[in-house]
Amino acid sequence: MASIIEIKHLFYRYEKDIVLDNINLSIPEGSFLAIVGPNGSGKSTLLKLILGLLKPQKGRIQLFGQEISKFKDWQKIGYVSQKANSFNTGFPATVFEVVASGLTKSIGIFKFFKKEDAAKVDQALEAVGMEPFRRRNIGELSGGQQQRVFIARALVSDPKLLILDEPTVGVDAENVTTFYQMLSDLNRNRGITLLLVTHDIGTISDKVSHVACLNKHLHFHGETKEFEQMRLEEMSKTYGHEVHLLSHQHQHEHGGVR
């Protein structure tokens, strides 16, 4: 399958410390990639480079087969930033208006809004299950609901790739699973390639197709089943001895053989 993103020998530093060191990453069309890594490991920086918000200092990035410096089809890429869900609850806009601003790039010029545009907004709201809330004020919604609205805003221009930076930070634990199910549906039913930075890898390993572990270097990149295999091997190396001891002890507690 064609790659949507192709990164080769990418380096980036803000001041003197290197934040991304020789990153090579290829993201196939239709995949659902989770980027994992500790705080400060360069995840958001990598996304900003892919989005053209920062410029590579060394190495190259290609988007949809084109050098990023020449790339112009930015409407093919939707982005929900890390801070999107810490929204000012006093902000006077309806859910419909927030999503519509993904088309007009500013809120408050809806007088000239066409019927087709309104239909696009409703479709995007439907895709994230927020259609019943279209007339509500954005500030009245829960963190998880607001996050769905921001995803709808990113979806309204019909992107082929959706990039999300830690989208579940403001989402209640009990809603995280349904949130990821919604993302999985976008990926499977609408064929949208998803690139997600997350700390929830344990919860979502059955939903993502690929995993990348970043900590300045790319320590692992591959299919989720290889990642799970590696995780199990690491765990048995780290805890194998204790696990063995525990099961041994357990046997004794229950009487064992007399």
- Helix ranges (DSSP H) in the chain: 43-50, 95-104, 115-127, 143-155, 173-190, 201-204, 224-253
Tokens standing for 54?
């920062």
**By CB under 5 A, which span of 41-49, 133-141, 148-156, 176-184 interacts with Mg ion?**
41-49
Number of alpha carbons in the 13 Å side-chain half-sphere of residue 113: 20
Q: What is the size of the binding site for ligand ADP (CB under 6 A)?
A: 11
Residue 149 phi, psi (nearest 5): -65, -40
Tokens standing for 104?
């007009």
- Tell me whether residue 43 or residue 148 sits nearer to Mg ion (CB atom): 43
Residue 253 Cα to chain centre, angstroms: 46
101 binds ligand ADP (CB under 6 A): no
Please tell me the distance from the alpha carbon of residue 141 to that of residue 84, in angstroms, as a whole number.
Answer: 13
Residue 32 Cα to chain centre, angstroms: 9
- Tell me whether residue 37 or residue 159 sits nearer to ligand ADP (CB atom): 37
| 8 A C-beta contact, residue 143 and residue 151 | no
Residue 154 Cα to chain centre, angstroms: 12
Pick from 10, 31, 33, 41: which binds ligand ADP (CB under 6 A)?
Answer: 41
Nearest distance in Å: CB 43, Mg ion: 5
Pick from 12, 32, 34, 44: which binds Mg ion (CB under 5 A)?
Answer: 44
Nearest distance in Å: CB 5, ligand ADP: 17
Q: Which does 253 bind (CB under 5 to 8 A by kind): Mg ion, ligand ADP, none?
A: none
124 binds ligand ADP (CB under 6 A): no
Q: Which does 56 bind (CB under 5 to 8 A by kind): ligand ADP, Mg ion, none?
A: none
Pick from 2, 16, 39, 173: which binds ligand ADP (CB under 6 A)?
Answer: 39
The residues binding Mg ion (CB under 5 A) are: 43-44
Question: Site residues (CB under 6 A) for ligand ADP?
Answer: 14-15, 19, 37, 39-45
